[in-house]
Structure 1
Amino acid sequence: MSAPVLSVRGLDVAFRVGRGARARTVRAVTGADLDLRPGRLTALVGESGCGKSVLTEALTGLLPATAAVRGSATLSTPDGDLELLDAPESDLRDRVRGRLLGLVPQSAATHLTPTRTVGAQLRETLARLGAGIPVAELMERAALPRHVLELYPHELSGGQAQRAGLAAALAGDPPVLLADEPTAGLDRPLVEHVTALLAGLADEGRAVLLITHDLRAARDVADDVAVMYASRLVETGPATEVFTGPWHPYTAGLLGALPDAGFTPVPGHPPELSALPPGCPFAPRCPERESCSGDPEPVRHGDRTVSCSGPVGS
């Protein structure tokens, strides 16, 4: 397997919210280890609110000033390794965003200027990045018809808006692409179209991170998968292995909730990130809790990692 182009180790992200007696700490990401490799699409999956988007914001330096961040995120570049979490904003703005890391944000239409056409905004992005890609080629990469260049954001369909966001993210030809819920709100044919585009971009040699709560979409296109629950990555590994033989009870529960597996939901609800229980955060919902020690520390077995001391995968 190729060396990672982006390697995350021990990433913690916490927010202090409220004042006085109402103040509390929200632990959005806890101890995350994640590798993104060239030519592979990694799906980061989990229920809404588990911390997936915060992880991406940490990597791109888009967290608010109230965030406390620890750990490392090392990006391999032609000029040597770059530590993203310590990089000054000027480096992130001028060297990283758009050039080394492309970001497809949630609800891409809201990130487009409503009074300017898609074409004007894409041409401006290309000029700002100093990219030599013709706008027609950019449209082709994102599978957008040429007439969309003349449209305003409010005239776009949901799928067109997401692909316009993808085109903007590809303008600087970045080796790493982060797509944050790019299929949210789309119908199934459009979900399959957008995820197939992302898989094709990985096949071209990029490292692609697909953040989604749509496990079916992830199962269709992912090379690797990382399962997140209550701020923690509870299982990671090759997608075919994780999806056919899950080790963590939460992963097994997510797969059991798919329509072709009986549509059995995971019982209960995830904890609030401001009130995480001690030990394993999944324990209150876990069918194996009587036979585990409650220690959620990750253990690596070959290419797979699991944060579970119960019988699953043993």
Structure 2
Amino acid sequence: MRGDRHIAAVTDAHFDLAAGQCLALVGESGCGKSVLASALLGLLPGNAETAGSAHLDGLDLLTADEATLARTVRGRRIGLVPQSPAAHLTPVRTVRSQLEETVRELTGIRRREVRTAAEAAAERAAFPVDHLDRYPHELSGGLAQRAATALALIGDAPLLLADEPTTGLDRDLVERTVDELKRHTGDDRALLMITHDLAAAERIADRIAVMYAGRIVELATAADFFGAPGPRHPYARGLLNALPEREFTPIPGMPPELGALPAGCAFAPRCARATTTCAGLPALGSGVACHHPVPEPVAIVKEQEATHA
């Protein structure tokens, strides 16, 4: 709720994520990605309403009470790399003390081994050991991000939720950070990465979910999304074509306000393929929610036709 208005921040978000997989959730700012993450952790404002279900190890995260979420979910079943690490870290305690406390709480390691385990967690996230005795306000944005990542990795949670984990990092550290997040998944853990960084998503994701105006408009394998045939939703294709290494062509217009969404396709006002059909809301059929999805390249179509001839 915003005042007396009901704002549908996320609607009809359907996806699954298996152990050993990384799903990258991408889209412009304000499309609902971080709201979805907050819903999974039970961290929405008190006036927010949720419906549906989100199951993890037999627990419905959307209906679980606060005590259950605090004691058995956050840190234990879901590790969080937050979007704003400065707000996530305790300002009056050193990074070392926060890591050691988390090690004791989540692993049960004996006191004499806590210090070593905390330093190992820092090293996993590329956080320099000689900065461990600093306070959060003494860290750069990139170092704060790595400290928060180190905290999230400690519990080896079945699901790691990384909300913009590469914010403030240079390209070398982006690659090191996302590689470590990918290694975390192993065979029995999963990674949900919310990001604007399509290069980081391409590096580690198995699947891509594209969100626009509170809805997932395309689900695709990373190989199909970044290779051939490429994204099928015009918005998803526009995101990819806006990259400097691609066409470097921005998507025209601005996203709609979530409190003033049209009845039909929310992307239609910005879409060159829109017709009167787009006045109706498209469903996520065959992985793309669009009345006029981008067709496969002609060369691929001709090859398929030749195969069936």
TM-score (norm 2): 0.87
Q: CA deviation at 1:35?
A: 1.3
1:25 lines up with 2:10 in the alignment: no
**Contact 2:9–2:35 (CA under 8 A) maintained in structure 1:** yes
Instruction: Name whichever of 126-135 and 225-234 sits farther off.
Output: 126-135
Which residue in the other structure is 2:149 paired with? Answer: 166
User: What is the aligned counterpart of 1:127 among 95, 98, 104?
Assistant: 104
CA distance in 2 between counterparts of 1:208 and 1:294 reads 36
1:107 lines up with 2:89 in the alignment: no
Which digits, 9 at most, give the CA deviation of each residue in 1:52-77, with x for residues without a partner?
0000000000011100111110112x
Partner of 1:30, secondary structure, is coil
Letter in 2 for 1:155: E
- Aligned-residue CA RMSD (Å): 1.8
Q: How does 1:5-44 map to 2 (within 5 A)?
A: 16-18=1-3, 23-44=4-25
User: What is the aligned counterpart of 1:276 among 261, 267, 275?
Assistant: 261
Which residue in the other structure is 1:308 paired with? Answer: 290
Q: CA deviation at 1:119?
A: 0.6
User: What is the aligned counterpart of 1:97 among 47, 68, 74?
Assistant: 74
CA distance in 2 between counterparts of 1:38 and 1:48 reads 28
Which residue in the other structure is 1:3 paired with? Answer: none
Partner of 2:51, secondary structure, is strand
Which residue in the other structure is 1:175 paired with? Answer: 158
CA distance in 2 between counterparts of 1:131 and 1:277 reads 52
Letter in 2 for 1:48: S
Partner of 1:98, secondary structure, is coil
CA distance in 1 between counterparts of 2:140 and 2:52 reads 39
CA distance in 1 between counterparts of 2:89 and 2:293 reads 48
Structure showing greater radius of gyration is 2
CA distance in 2 between counterparts of 1:293 and 1:45 reads 23
**Contact 2:142–2:167 (CA under 8 A) maintained in structure 1:** no
1:146 lines up with 2:129 in the alignment: yes
Q: How does 1:47-126 map to 2 (within 5 A)?
A: 47-76=28-57, 81-126=58-103
CA distance in 2 between counterparts of 1:253 and 1:131 reads 48
Greater strand percent: which structure? 1
Q: CA deviation at 1:118?
A: 0.5
| Structure-2 change in CA distance of 1:142 and 1:311 (3 Å) | closer
Which residue in the other structure is 1:213 paired with? Answer: 196
Q: CA deviation at 1:281?
A: 0.5
Partner of 1:39, secondary structure, is coil
CA distance in 1 between counterparts of 2:235 and 2:278 reads 16
**Contact 1:295–1:308 (CA under 8 A) maintained in structure 2:** no
Partner of 2:90, secondary structure, is coil
1:248 lines up with 2:225 in the alignment: no
CA distance in 2 between counterparts of 1:157 and 1:100 reads 29
Percent identity between matched residues is 55
TM-score (norm 1): 0.86
| Structure-2 change in CA distance of 1:206 and 1:148 (3 Å) | farther
**Contact 1:36–1:207 (CA under 8 A) maintained in structure 2:** yes
CA distance in 2 between counterparts of 1:51 and 1:289 reads 23
Partner of 1:278, secondary structure, is coil
Partner of 2:52, secondary structure, is strand
Q: CA deviation at 1:190?
A: 2.6
Q: Paired residues, what number?
A: 288
Q: CA deviation at 1:147?
A: 1.8
Which residue in the other structure is 1:232 paired with? Answer: 215
Letter in 2 for 1:92: L
Letter in 2 for 1:46: G
**Contact 1:138–1:170 (CA under 8 A) maintained in structure 2:** yes
CA distance in 2 between counterparts of 1:238 and 1:121 reads 37
**Contact 1:216–1:258 (CA under 8 A) maintained in structure 2:** no
Q: CA deviation at 1:42?
A: 1.0
Q: CA deviation at 1:292?
A: 4.4
Long gaps (5+) in structure 1: 1-15
CA distance in 2 between counterparts of 1:179 and 1:310 reads 32
Long gaps (5+) in structure 2: 297-309
CA distance in 1 between counterparts of 2:187 and 2:122 reads 16
Q: CA deviation at 1:44?
A: 0.5
**Contact 1:107–1:182 (CA under 8 A) maintained in structure 2:** no
Which residue in the other structure is 2:300 paired with? Answer: none
CA distance in 2 between counterparts of 1:220 and 1:172 reads 24
